[in-house]
Structure 1
Amino acid sequence: MTITPETITVPVADGTFLPAYLARPVGRAAPVAVVVAHELFAVNPDIRGVADGLAAAGYLVLAPEFYHRNTEAGRWFERTDAGREEGFALLHQLGREEALSDVDACLGRLGAQPGIQRTAVIGFSAGGHLAYLAACRLPVSRTAVLYGGWLPTADIPMSRPTPTLDLTPEIRGRIVYLVGEDDPLIDAGHRGQIRSALEKAGVEHELVTYPGVEHAFFWPGTPAFNQWARDDAWNRILSLLAE
């Protein structure tokens, strides 16, 4: 399917303006619109590629720049030590309520479009944490979390004052959590805590682990890339959205 990409600005309740990459299918979109939450490196070509792929599958997609309060529009970082350092510096300036305000503004923008009946959030790593948080606090029908870290801890501002995992009973939609078994950020202990929290809260969910797979397995050209895990994750995302 042909898509139309553009950059738009979404007003947020705190008075800021959120730049976002919008990808829409040419023709009628599916009734589910999607927010794609970026990882540490901001809205880079990988994230835009995910948005484009979802738009090609028929979905209206928005990839917001969550660092917008502290850096210029359109800025993203390479997968280098320097890029990781810059990304972490900005991540540690992104508070819980600010992040939620951004997602809420995007959901409102998408939900107001003709034909949209439900909204979903898909997030990668730090964006996976944000996707899980949004599922807890906002009206999200479907959520896909790809190796979202720090959920049982208070190590980043989005997971304060109480760890985001503690908010799990507030989830009302369906959630799919996808992670590699060799992920050093989300070890067996953390995976067990996430699974236990979802089960105890009675959340409709699926937690999928990939043997021999590391963190950030989704991105071609990176050391952790795993084609089989990426293909399976992508198929699960599309199935989730199509439900």
Structure 2
Amino acid sequence: MTTTAKVPTLDSTGQIPVYVARPEGKAKAAIIVVPEIFGVNPGIRKKCDDWAAKGYAAAAPDIFWRFSAGEELNPDIEEEFSKALENMGQYDADLGVQDIEALIRWLKDDGGVSKVGLVGFCLGGRMAYLAAARTDIDASVGYYGVMIDQMLGESHAIANPLMLHIPEEDHFVDKAAQVKIHEGLDDHHKVTLHDYPGMDHGFATESGDRRDEENAQLADKRTEDFFAESFG
């Protein structure tokens, strides 16, 4: 079953639009799916639907709802890609963390689950890292997260499992940034890093020119196993 919900913000001054996919029967846990900069588009909805088919409640928030609500963009169309970058420039990550916290509470209170995980892509991958450092999320996974190398000072606050998928040819996260991420997180007992040689940003998108089938399936299997282990 799928629906669009309105989740109150922490201060109750707004409502976050959220695509929700629920499994048949009781959900074994919930997973927040934080999209790339292209909105809750068909690919993100499919990711939610796939989690629901595996027995999880899945919820994808419209991260740009404060200034560009409901916008769905195609990364393979140049004009829409440019608009997505513009939206990213307006995004307030601190408010984004608050929205994730509001969604965690909503899923536990209204969704009836005791465990909530998060998987994010691109900007969502950055939010996966911040959620691990700043919220009580039970487990987080980031795919090709941007700007994590600039936030390593928060790694001491990561108390629950975090996995990061790092494509080695990511043109948004260069080699120097990747080295910093490894230097800052390789020894962290709650963090697991996976490198993908030859892969670029967006290799695990559901469709389009960027997807690499073999590596997308590998990363997704690692993610599924990671959540299963983290949730017990």
Specify every segment of 5 or more residues in structure 2 that has no aligned partner in the other structure, as ranges: none
- What residue in structure 1 maps to residue 15 of structure 2? 17
Residue 229 of structure 1 is matched in structure 2 by 215
Structure 2 residue matching 1:90: 3-state secondary structure: helix
SS at match of 1:69: helix
- Asked if 1 retains the 8 angstrom alpha-carbon contact of 2:202 and 2:211, the reply is yes
TM superposition shift of 1:239: 0.6
Question: How many residues in Structure 1 have an aligned counterpart in Structure 2?
Answer: 227
Structure 1 runs not aligned, ≥5 long: 153-162
Q: How far off its partner does 1:107 sit?
A: 0.5
* Closer, same or farther: CA 139–220 of 1 in aligned 2, 3 Å: closer
Which residue is equivalent to 1:95?
92
1:166 counterpart (126, 134, 153):
153
Per the alignment, residue 196 of structure 2 pairs with: 210
Which residue in 1 is equivalent to 2:176?
Answer: 189
1:195 Cα deviation after fit: 1.8
Task: After TM superposition, give the deviation of residue 222 of structure 1 in Å.
Answer: 2.6
C-alpha distance in structure 2 between counterparts of 1:221 and 1:8, whole Å? 25
Native 8 Å contact 2:166 2:194 kept in 1: yes
Superposition deviation, residue 94 in structure 1? 1.6
Aligned residue identity for 1:49 = K
Aligned counterparts, 1:1-243, within 5 A: 4-14=1-11, 15-30=13-28, 32-72=29-69, 74-79=70-75, 80-113=77-110, 115-152=112-149, 163-200=150-187, 202-243=188-229
Say which SS state the counterpart of residue 70 (structure 1) adopts.
Answer: helix
Alignment correspondent of 1:159: none
Identity %: 28
Give the TM-score normalised by structure 1. Answer: 0.88
Counterpart CA distance in 2 for 1:75 and 1:99 is 17
Q: Is the CA contact 2:46–2:206 (under 8 Å) kept in the aligned structure 1?
A: no
Flag the 1:59–1:221 CA change in 2: closer, same or farther, 3 A. closer
Report which of the two has the higher share of helix.
2
How far residue 114 of structure 1 moved from its aligned partner, in angstroms, is 5.8
Q: 1:128 touches 1:147 (CA, 8 Å); kept in 2?
A: yes
* Deviation string, structure 1 residues 124-174 (Cα, Å, up to 9, x no partner): 01111111111110001111110001222xxxxxxxxxx322211111111
Q: Which runs of 4+ in 1 moved over 6 A?
A: none
**In 2: Cα distance, 1:19 partner to 1:164 partner:** 27
- Whether contact under 8 Å (1:171, 1:203) holds in the other structure is no
Contact 1:6–1:23 (8 Å) recurs in 2: yes
Q: Quick check: 1:169–1:203 contact (8 Å CA) kept in 2? A: no
Q: Write the distance in 2 (CA, Å) between the matches of 1:83 and 1:203.
A: 40
Give 1:61 shift: 0.9
With normalisation by structure 2, the TM-score equals 0.92
